[in-house]
Copies of this chain bind each other. A is one copy, B any other.
Amino acid sequence: MLAKNTQVKCGDCPIRHRAVCARCETDELERLEEIKYYRNFEPGQTIVWSNDKMDFVGSVVKGVATLTQTMEDGRTQMVGLLLPSDFVGRPGRDGSAYDVTATTQVVMCCFRKKPFEKLMADTPHIAHRLLEMTLDELDAAREWMLVLGRKTAREKIASLLAIIARRDPRPDLPSGIEASFDLPLTREAMADYLGLTLETVSRQISALKRDRVIVLDGKRHILVPDIGRLLEEAGDDSDGGYLV
């Protein structure tokens, strides 16, 4: 469970320019190297329990993880989707407010918390980058509030697909297909993200397939013939500020 990976030099790290360390100078990277270690997680495995003390913070290097909240009666809501380069943990706080769970194989680059906090205090680059990333996450959370509060089931599904398509671009596209990606989530996880039931998710995916908005290749691989159409279905401003 705690099996450490072969360490990757920060300079060679695939998320080097997007993660919390993006702005670091060489000497700062060296200090980060000293306090970092890798951890692997299997699909379904919990990375942090809500309200547990966290002794580390870190970045997702590979894979997908989720942040979820659960009510006493079992209703659960996903409140964040963590993709490579996303940051986990809150400097200055003891624990996580949410369950963090791996949905695929996940590689985390962890930093021991205390030294990381010290490093943050010493070097402005890390703190500054973290503020920037937190502001982005806040924007994403607020964007998601619109989805949860005001969109129909069909629009919710289309919004989720649009987000994943946006963050996971692929070059190898057959003609007549503008985007293509694997769903890293089960129907149930999608339901938890969207505030729906898994049956409704399944029905709406079928409906989008029937209406040719998407094409399925197996249960988990999605092809999008026309991204503009998908964004339209998502209820987003279709003047395409996002892609293309």
Residues of A within 8 A of B (CB): 67, 69, 71-73, 75-77, 79-80, 90, 92-93, 97-98, 121, 124, 127-128, 130-132, 134-135, 137-139, 141-146, 148-150, 194-195, 235, 237
Contacts and interface: CB of A to CB of B under 8 A. Distances in A.
Contacts of A139: 97
A33 B145 CA distance: 36
A137 to B, nearest CB: 6
Contacts of A130: 131
Nearest to A98: B142
B149 A195 contact: yes
B80 A142 contact: yes
Contacts of A128: 127
A148 B98 contact: no
A189 B178 CA distance: 39
A97 B237 contact: no
24 contacts: A69-B142, A69-B145, A71-B146, A71-B235, A72-B235, A76-B150, A79-B146, A80-B142, A90-B135, A97-B139, A97-B142, A124-B124, A124-B127, A127-B127, A127-B128, A131-B134, A134-B134, A138-B138, A138-B141, A141-B145, A144-B145, A148-B149, A148-B195, A149-B194
Contacts of A121: 124
A226 B243 CA distance: 51
Given A90-B135, A127-B128, A237-B72, A79 B142 contact: yes
A134 to B, nearest CB: 5
A159 to B, nearest CB: 11
A204 to B, nearest CB: 16
A142 B124 CA distance: 27
Contact of A69 (B75, B131, B134, B146): B146
A76 B138 CA distance: 18
Of listed A67, A130, A195, A237, residue having the most chain B CB within 10 A: A195
A141 B134 CA distance: 12
Nearest to A76: B150
A127 B138 contact: no
Contacts of A76: 150
Contacts of A131: 127, 130-131, 134
